[in-house]
Amino acid sequence: MLQTVDIGSRSLDSYRSFVPPPIFDELASAAQSLAGARVLHLSATPYGGGVSELLRSAVPLLENLGIHAVWQVISGEESFFRVTKAIHNGLQGAAGSITEVDRAIYKRNSTRNAALLDGEYDFVFVHDPQPAAVLSFAGRRRGFWIWRCHIDTSAPNPEVWEFVRRYLVDYEAAVFTAADFVPPDLPVERVEVIPPAIDPLSPKNLALSGSTGREVLDWIGVDADAPLVTQVSRFDPWKDPLGVIAAYRLVRERVPGLQLALVGSMALDDPEAWDVYREIREASATDALIHVFTNLTGVGNVEVNAFQRLSDVVIQKSIREGFGLAVSEAMWKATPVVAGRAGGIPLQMADGAGGLLVGSVEELADAVVWLLEDPAAARELGRLGRDRVRDFFLLPRLLLSEIDLMRSLVEGPDAERTSIARDPVCGLLIAGQPVASVVREGRRHDFCSHDCRERFLRAGAAAGGAQPHREE
């Protein structure tokens, strides 16, 4: 039997005050039509990284909605997770090849995990490439299998993609974080775009008073009275922690006494993290104002909450990114963010909400200085960020999108979908007043942001130009 991750119980009712009423009401009624359905979420690790963060919150809420949800994790030899990390990197475009030995390790571990799979499910969500081949080796098909890809697969290393691609052919559906991520030769017909979301009630995101937050930081040796910038992320080259240190050094020439915290988690499926950790320690060894923390030394959710809440600026200098939950987490706390223009980050910070997007170390340094020197502007950006997360990036919206997908798989292509408008560019559900709309050939399209509307218009123009439309 695969390892089941124990999770507590949760009540949808506690989310009522956080989400737009139409989302809340539709979620309850959509779930009714799936009452009693059995859902398995299969992932690679019970802790560390965005997927475990999401499942930790989503699974108990599904259960509360009357859907029997279980979260299980695969296991593997150390070499298996080295190979799956190389596959993860290759899917995000890294060079390199997977050898015959790597392929054999992946197949051997996938076969073993497939043999451990038991139980009957109506829907199986398989998260990311690590468990992707379990379906191929499971031998018999049970329910609808959905590959949930959380990473940026828009320009994968062709050899790695070809290897993973063959294991996807039997899936009924695939879900991506952004339309841009869908590889052109994906062998799955049914594709859905669903951006992730954060849980406002998790210990990482719940309201924390300033005084408690200061006590937490004080306890772990960070001076909450001195200026502080923080990046919270796995220790991963794609999150560019060394770029963060380089930018911090530039900023400190202009802001003496500035502290930098690098808060990183070690995930079970990420052996590369230790190498990155060592590089960070080397780069920061002689600098008492750079603090490096990990989940293994007791920096958990409440500490992350305090860092995201009390930092003057939160940094997320990703070069390649799936979604980047840590961005919405900081925005939810109204803390200004400076982040790399990568993956799902521009969607979260669309129309300038929450902070500034950057493309280089120098731009990052300039943006941080600007925010530190203009606290009123920083506060306003932070306020806009929190509003945007409330409107689009909280857990009930994500659950509604996923339940909507499950219903449509059961009922077929003509199934009635949620009545809530869906942004045709990013897939977000728009429960309130849309930020922008376009009427094209008599049909109205609503958008979560002006950025999405612009992309929609550009795509229309590229596809053949002057289609009649009226902007609202």
Residues that bind ligand UDP in the complex, under the rule CB under 6 A: 49-50, 53, 204, 232-234, 263-265, 295, 299, 304, 322-326, 329
Q: Cα angle vertex 240, ends 292, 194, to 5°?
A: 110
CB nearer to ligand UDP: pick between 46 and 264: 264
Length of the chain: 472
CB of 263 to ligand UDP, least distance (A): 4
Residue nearest to ligand UDP (CB): 50
Are 123 and 39 spatial neighbours (Cβ–Cβ below 8 Å)?
yes
CB of 250 to ligand UDP, least distance (A): 24
CB nearer to ligand UDP: pick between 114 and 280: 280
CB nearer to ligand UDP: pick between 336 and 434: 336
CB of 293 to ligand UDP, least distance (A): 7
CB of 185 to ligand UDP, least distance (A): 25
d(CA 307, CA 100): 44
d(CA 214, CA 329): 18
CB nearer to ligand UDP: pick between 409 and 428: 428
Are 348 and 318 spatial neighbours (Cβ–Cβ below 8 Å)?
no
CB of 120 to ligand UDP, least distance (A): 30
CB nearer to ligand UDP: pick between 233 and 408: 233
CB of 417 to ligand UDP, least distance (A): 27
d(CA 451, CA 435): 10
**Which one, of 135, 116, 114, 133, lies nearest residue 124 by Cα?**
135
CB of 49 to ligand UDP, least distance (A): 4
Are 358 and 340 spatial neighbours (Cβ–Cβ below 8 Å)?
yes
CB nearer to ligand UDP: pick between 261 and 369: 261
Are 5 and 72 spatial neighbours (Cβ–Cβ below 8 Å)?
yes
Tokens 């009123």 appear where? Answer: 376
DSSP 383-421: HHHHHHHHHH-BHHHHHHHHHHHHHHHHH-TT----SSE
Are 76 and 29 spatial neighbours (Cβ–Cβ below 8 Å)?
no
